[in-house]
Amino acid sequence: MVHEVGLGWEFFAALTAFDEQIAREVAAGGCPRCGGPLHRADYGRKPRGALQGAAAEAFALRHSLCCGREGCRARALPPSLRFLGRRVYVEAVVLLASAVAQLARVPREARAATGVPARTLRRWGAWWRETFPRTSVWFALRATFSPPPPDEAELPRSLLDRFAVDHDVPGGRSKLAAICELAARCLAPMTTQSVPDGSRFVRSVFARSARPPIHAKDGDSA
Ligand SMILES: [Zn+2]
């Protein structure tokens, strides 16, 4: 599955629309520190998309919010489907390129297939298998799978494979894009601590969204 070609403009446009919606809803909740009004304070980033996500480089705006009350001015960073913390590569690439690297026999092969330096791929691999399994986002996500959950020693490939098995993809859409979008929804709370209980917040935003990505075969595990 991960050998399908990369993610297109439409994929990142959809993620950007979700980011916009999330930012609006975080703003509507007011300043987490003082309850004052949250104003937009978006800023530009220079995201890298490597080979799988080159189209992401057209979507550089990071949504950000700033309290308008004098003396507070607290900043709030809404969860994002495109960015994973401060990494310069977009999240979809941190996910996909890491999965490609797991299938590669030698580092050179992984580098050629992803356009990401081998050292970076190694660092991401360690993050997926050593750090990510200890996060609250993974605890929340793992609980949504019927047992057994994806193998933590094989992340992130085990997660993508499981999404592919558990979910039906609507006709006409790339399965890879649909699965990456679902993963982005699940990982969005990773990107910021600004929203308490981020997993629940992001799920509630998508529950009201007009565009469900893919459907769980048994109930809704997304
Ligand atoms: Zn404030």
What's the CA gap between 81 and 218, in Å, rounded? 25
Strand partners, 46: none
User: pLDDT 10s digit of each residue in the chain, 222 long?
Assistant: 444 568 999 999 999 999 999 999 999 999 989 999 999 999 999 999 999 999 999 999 999 999 999 999 999 999 999 999 889 999 999 999 999 999 999 999 999 999 999 999 999 999 999 999 999 999 999 999 999 999 999 999 999 999 988 887 665 568 889 899 999 999 998 887 778 788 888 888 888 876 655 556 654 444
What's the CA gap between 190 and 84, in Å, rounded? 7
What's the CA gap between 206 and 77, in Å, rounded? 18
**H helix intervals, the chain:** 9-28, 91-103, 107-114, 118-126, 136-142, 157-166, 175-187, 198-207
What's the CA gap between 148 and 208, in Å, rounded? 29
If you measure from the C-alpha of residue 197 to the centroid of ligand 1, how many angstroms do you get, rounded to a whole number? Answer: 19
pLDDT at 91: 96
If you measure from the C-alpha of residue 67 to the centroid of ligand 1, how many angstroms do you get, rounded to a whole number? Answer: 5
If you measure from the C-alpha of residue 38 to the centroid of ligand 1, how many angstroms do you get, rounded to a whole number? Answer: 8
If you measure from the C-alpha of residue 32 to the centroid of ligand 1, how many angstroms do you get, rounded to a whole number? Answer: 7
158 in Cβ contact with 150 (< 8 Å): yes
If you measure from the C-alpha of residue 200 to the centroid of ligand 1, how many angstroms do you get, rounded to a whole number? Answer: 23
Question: How far apart, in Å, are the Cα atoms of 103 and each of 5, 109, 158, 173, 194?
Answer: 15, 9, 12, 24, 35
If you measure from the C-alpha of residue 75 to the centroid of ligand 1, how many angstroms do you get, rounded to a whole number? Answer: 8
If you measure from the C-alpha of residue 146 to the centroid of ligand 1, how many angstroms do you get, rounded to a whole number? Answer: 41
If you measure from the C-alpha of residue 35 to the centroid of ligand 1, how many angstroms do you get, rounded to a whole number? Answer: 6
Half-sphere exposure of 39 (CA within 13 A, CB side): 7
If you measure from the C-alpha of residue 60 to the centroid of ligand 1, how many angstroms do you get, rounded to a whole number? Answer: 26
